[in-house]
Structure 1
Amino acid sequence: MGGGPPYLELFVEETSFYNRIVLGTIFPNFSLYPFPHILQTWLRNCVGGFLIYFFSGFLWCFYIYYWKRNVYVPKDSIPSNKSMLLQILVTIKAMPLYCVLPTFAEYVVEHDWTKCYPRVLDVGWPAYAFHIITYLTFIEFCIYWMHRGLHDIKPLYKYLHAKHHIYNKKTTLSPFAGLAFHPMDGILQAIPHLFALFLIPTHFRTHIVLLFFEVVWTANIHDGIHSRMWPVMGAGYHTIHHTRYRYNYGHYSIWMDWMFGTLLDPMDIEAKGL
């Protein structure tokens, strides 16, 4: 890195700081082990991914299935512990491969192959806000078509996406189902976050936050609760996707489904008794 632009050192310093915080907390003698930086980054992403997955999953399950039992989800719609355990096991197997993507993203950023910048003040707040809006719009568009392609292209559905769609009833959907994918399926649906770095100026720390926010978001949209926060693509819409397959491919919002004719509103189903 020594011969590169000075701002590249800021990226390396930031990722090294994250590695020390996460790995140093778990492994007290972490600094004594001469692991390559990229291996440290991958291990930190795995640990971080598991921590967020289990913390958000258990916290949300406790809240909706036990503390607020029968308030948000009827008793006969609560998934069994066995179903949730199976979803956890699928995720545990896939997480190490999922984490290859954010690790590679950090690698290309550190080597100046992207349009990332290390500090908001490098571009100013108005430009930063514009970049975030552009980034999220790009992510929404790409994930919509990636997700739709995983349904429309039969081999992709059969060999990849069908593993996630075994959760096709309210009694099999839970926050733990959010990352229960075939590893390649999960990577394909997250890869727009990587593509965006090559096309859109992006604040590096914001990119990392948004990528790991995916873990929380996927837990939320698999809990079966229709929050009615228009135009958010919440669990009410996503439950329809799991039970009817051909609707509501969107990620954060309903806009892409509305634009491309694949939107099915939970309220319409209730009103028409579909």
Structure 2
Amino acid sequence: MDVVMHYLDTYVFDSIYYKAAELTSTAPLPRDSLFRQSLSLFVFVYSYIVTFYFGTAGLSYKLIYDKKQEQHPKFLPRQRFLEMACASRALPQITIMTIPWILGQLHGYSQVYKEWDKFGYAYLFLSAAMFILFTDFCIYWVHRLEHHPLVYAKCHKLHHKWIVCTPYASHAFHPVDGYMQSIPYHLAVFVFPIHEYVYLALFAFVNVWSVMIHDGEYVASNPVVNGAAHHTVHHLYFNYNYGQFTTVFDRLFNTYRKPSHEVYDRSWRNSKRVQEAQAKRIDEALPSLEAVDKSCKKID
């Protein structure tokens, strides 16, 4: 992230802070000021994620999403707007909670490195694979914990409001939910070395992937990749397929559910008979799935 901040400071933020200093008759904030870094990071990260979210989800909705799914009995009135509104409320709060992780990277506490050949070129690919597996393992357990009754009602239930998702559901969650599931992406660079550009590419990839697994289009029936079909099963049946990128950990810990024809086959998944059966099963399952301690506050 330091390479990004270097270019932003040089071409954007330096002039802004100098202008602010002139207007307020104060000394300009230096680049190494924690306040300046935090403020600059908020502006950059928030602008990036909002642009990325609306751009990627918008393109996915326009070009890929099967809009017949909006006729599903569990598709909410004005759902697309509600998903966008939910994401818009969550993203600034998640950005604020994320800043300390990025400050840690900027101040040299992470294992992000700059030299392409520091660990050999083969390690660049190995580190990318390690990143995917490490974050997939961590997110599996964070996600599974969020389905515990004492936790589910407080934060994760909001994301499951979108039983039949659009791509805009990808970031439509409670701020704590979104932050908790993002921690592994930041933690990874403190656990093992990753080249700065590989890390930036992976960071962009995970945001695209989050949209893709909510886009409702099931391109391939791959038993290992946790694609849109597998994540659709999670939204329809709740306690299955907690993984983010692969089905490896769902298989290892007995939470895997293979998508059926009613997910993969368009004619099946758009069938009124199939959709009504899904809605009935969901209505029957919800009381036990959402059982909570009386002290827990529900999010409606």
TM-score by structure 2 length?
0.74
Deviation at 1:74, TM superposition (A): 5.3
Alignment-mate amino acid for residue 185 of structure 2: H
Report the CA distance shift for 1:30/1:89 in structure 2 as closer, same or farther (over 3 A).
farther
Match of 1:47 in 2: 47
RMSD between aligned alpha carbons? Answer: 2.8
* 1:19 and 1:44 in contact (8 A); partners too: no
Report the CA distance shift for 1:102/1:205 in structure 2 as closer, same or farther (over 3 A).
farther
Q: How many residues align?
A: 251
Report the CA distance shift for 1:80/1:159 in structure 2 as closer, same or farther (over 3 A).
closer
Does residue 183 (structure 1) correspond to residue 178 (structure 2)? The answer is: no
Q: Give distance in 2, aligned partners of 1:86 and 1:13.
A: 36
Q: Give distance in 1, aligned partners of 2:69 and 2:237.
A: 21
Instruction: Mark the runs of 5 or more structure 2 residues left unpaired by the alignment.
Output: 21-27, 30-35, 265-273, 279-300
Report the CA distance shift for 1:133/1:268 in structure 2 as closer, same or farther (over 3 A).
same
Deviation at 1:127, TM superposition (A): 2.0
Q: Give distance in 1, aligned partners of 2:160 and 2:69.
A: 22
Larger mean Cα displacement after TM superposition, 192-201 or 177-186: 192-201
Q: Give distance in 2, aligned partners of 1:29 and 1:183.
A: 30
Does residue 133 (structure 1) correspond to residue 129 (structure 2)? The answer is: yes
Equivalent of 2:196 in 194, 204, 209: 204
Q: Give distance in 2, aligned partners of 1:198 and 1:191.
A: 11
Deviation at 1:31, TM superposition (A): 6.1
Deviation at 1:59, TM superposition (A): 1.0
Larger mean Cα displacement after TM superposition, 154-163 or 228-237: 228-237
Q: Give distance in 1, aligned partners of 2:171 and 2:141.
A: 19
Deviation at 1:101, TM superposition (A): 4.9
Alignment-mate amino acid for residue 6 of structure 2: S
Question: Map of 1:37-76 to 2, 5 A cutoff?
Answer: 37-64=37-64, 73=68, 76=71
Match of 1:224 in 2: 216
Deviation at 1:30, TM superposition (A): 6.9
Percent of residue pairs bearing the same amino acid type: 26
* 1:117 and 1:202 in contact (8 A); partners too: yes
Q: Give distance in 2, aligned partners of 1:229 and 1:20.
A: 47
Alignment-mate amino acid for residue 247 of structure 1: Y
Deviation at 1:209, TM superposition (A): 2.9
Larger mean Cα displacement after TM superposition, 114-123 or 75-84: 75-84
Equivalent of 2:117 in 117, 121, 128: 121
Deviation at 1:77, TM superposition (A): 4.2
Report the CA distance shift for 1:31/1:241 in structure 2 as closer, same or farther (over 3 A).
farther
Does residue 32 (structure 1) correspond to residue 19 (structure 2)? The answer is: yes
Does residue 194 (structure 1) correspond to residue 189 (structure 2)? The answer is: no
Match of 1:253 in 2: 246
Equivalent of 2:7 in 17, 34, 48: 17
Q: Give distance in 2, aligned partners of 1:224 and 1:249.
A: 17
Q: Give distance in 2, aligned partners of 1:43 and 1:244.
A: 38
Deviation at 1:156, TM superposition (A): 1.3
Match of 1:158 in 2: 153
Report the CA distance shift for 1:107/1:132 in structure 2 as closer, same or farther (over 3 A).
same
Larger mean Cα displacement after TM superposition, 191-200 or 43-52: 191-200
* 2:229 and 2:263 in contact (8 A); partners too: no
Alignment-mate amino acid for residue 155 of structure 1: L
Q: Give distance in 2, aligned partners of 1:92 and 1:124.
A: 41
Report the CA distance shift for 1:74/1:178 in structure 2 as closer, same or farther (over 3 A).
closer
Larger mean Cα displacement after TM superposition, 204-213 or 106-115: 204-213
Does residue 235 (structure 1) correspond to residue 228 (structure 2)? The answer is: yes
Match of 2:282 in 1: none
Deviation by residue 1:185-224 (Cα, 9 ceiling, x = unmatched): 0010110112212211112232233223332212111122
Match of 2:207 in 1: 215
Deviation by residue 1:30-68 (Cα, 9 ceiling, x = unmatched): 763456122111210000001011111111111135xxx
* 2:247 and 2:256 in contact (8 A); partners too: yes
SS of the residue aligned with 2:211? Answer: helix
Deviation at 1:258, TM superposition (A): 1.3
SS of the residue aligned with 1:112? Answer: coil
* 1:49 and 1:212 in contact (8 A); partners too: no
Larger Rg: 2
Question: Map of 1:76-95 to 2, 5 A cutoff?
Answer: 76-77=71-72, 82-95=78-91
